[in-house]
Amino acid sequence: MYSISALTLLLLSIRPSFGIPPPDFGFPEAPNDTALTVIFQDNGSPISVSEGQLFGVNVPSQEPTVAVDPSSFESIADYNGSYALIMVDPDARYPQAPTSRFILHWLQFNLTTAPASDDGTTQLVNSTAPQAPYRGPAPPTNSSAHRYILYAFFQHENFTFPQAYEGYNATNRTSFNLTDFLDQSNLGPSPAAANYFYASNETAVPPDFIAAAGATYPGGNGEMITAGPGPSITPSSTPATATASTTGSAPTTTFTGGASVARGGMAWLACPMVILNLL
Please state which CATH class domain 19-267 belongs to: alpha beta
Residue 84: partners with Cβ closer than 8 Å, 6 or more residues away: 108, 109, 110, 111, 152, 153, 154, 155, 159, 185, 187
> Which of 39, 44, 42 minimizes the C-alpha distance to 57?
42
Model pLDDT for residues 195-227, shown as the tens digit of each residue:
999 999 999 999 999 999 999 999 999 999 999
Model pLDDT for residues 111-166, shown as the tens digit of each residue:
999 999 998 899 999 989 999 999 999 999 999 999 999 999 999 999 999 999 99
Number of residues written out for the chain: 279
The stretch 267-279 carries a mean pLDDT of: 35
Model pLDDT for residues 239-253, shown as the tens digit of each residue:
444 443 333 333 333
Model pLDDT for residues 8-65, shown as the tens digit of each residue:
333 333 334 478 999 999 999 999 899 999 999 999 999 999 999 999 999 999 999 9
pTM for this structure? Answer: 0.81
Q: Are 105 and 233 in contact (CB under 8 A)?
A: no
pLDDT at 119: 87
- Is the predicted pLDDT of residue 267 greater than 90, yes or no? no
pLDDT-derived band at 232 (thresholds 50, 70, 90) equals confident
pLDDT-derived band at 234 (thresholds 50, 70, 90) equals low
pLDDT at 225: 98
Model pLDDT for residues 170-195, shown as the tens digit of each residue:
999 999 999 999 999 999 999 999 99
Burial of residue 249 (CB within 10 Å: 0-12, 13-18, 19+) is exposed
CA angle (265, 270, 274) in 5-degree steps: 150
Domain ranges of the chain: 19-267
The stretch 53-79 carries a mean pLDDT of: 96
- Is the predicted pLDDT of residue 238 greater than 60, yes or no? no
